[in-house]
Amino acid sequence: MFNLHFRRDADSSVQPEPARTDFPALGGADLAGMIQGQRQGGDFYHFLRVSSHRVLFGLLDVAGRHTENHAIVAGAQQSFQDVGRQKFSSEDVNEADLMMEFCLELNLSIIKTAGGVRSCAAFMGCYNEELGTICYANAGHTPGLLRYGSDVHELAATGLPLGLLKAATYEAPTVALPHGGSLLLVSRGVVEATYKHDEFGLERVKHHFGNQPLDSANEVAAGILDAVRAFMRGTPTHNDVTTLALIRPAIAKVGAGSA
């Protein structure tokens, strides 16, 4: 299941509007992703329901131009799906252990497909719908951003990018996603978007994310892309510009006069 696509016009040129995908319905949460502009590099996002209450998701970036890395991207997508389903399909599992094993096998798969070293930054998470938790591994990726209220915290790297070392190791912490909270993942192309030698940067991402309404994951993902386009005064063409957002809506408060 490949979850990234582009809309094309009659001349087969890529439309400037963000391409989006229909994400699976989650119990008590909302997940959405978008990519802006013409395919330049190796960004892709993937998601997979692996059990009755777990959804595996990730944002990955295979190094190199799209013309040279498309086979590696396709192989990484297939491995994500096959290994993810194999590892997480049981209901009673240790998510942290499996996430570390998942990273190791995906790492080896990328090295094998590439025929050697090929860096692939990746942020992968397992969302537990029953607990409202995310077990994640950040393999050299742009930090994930976890928001609750107006506070935004960085989920920094827990290991090297995939595809570099066969013996690489990864840690897999677990964080809570409270009601009214959100996780945002952005590609390197978002952070490195530049206008007149000024970089958009992670701090601008955090500022925009911290001030967005958390009504819809789709709106959060699109809002960051809107901010990048406004900053650059046009559609990004320097790299893939991709966002992935997960929201756990706040619990509606019962009014004082309600029964």
Distances from the Cα of 162 to the Cα of 52, 140, 177, angstroms: 28, 8, 26
Instruction: Return the pLDDT at 152.
Output: 97
pLDDT digits (tens, 9 = 90+) for 200-227: 999 999 999 999 999 999 999 999 999 9
User: pLDDT confidence of 41, banded at 50, 70, 90?
Assistant: low
Tally of structural domains, the chain = 1
Report the pLDDT averaged over residues 143-147.
Answer: 98
pLDDT score of 21: 57
- State the residue range of the domain holding 49: 22-248
The tokens describing 238, both together, are 């320097």
- Residue 29 DSSP label: B
Residue 39 lies in a domain: yes
Mean pLDDT confidence for 190-202: 93
**259 within some domain:** no
**Residue 86 three-state SS:** helix
Q: What gap in Å lies between CA 232 and CA 45, rounded to an integer?
A: 24
* Percent residues over pLDDT 70 in the chain: 85
Q: Does the pLDDT at position 1 exceed 70? A: no
Instruction: List the CATH number of the domain containing 44.
Output: 3.60.40.10
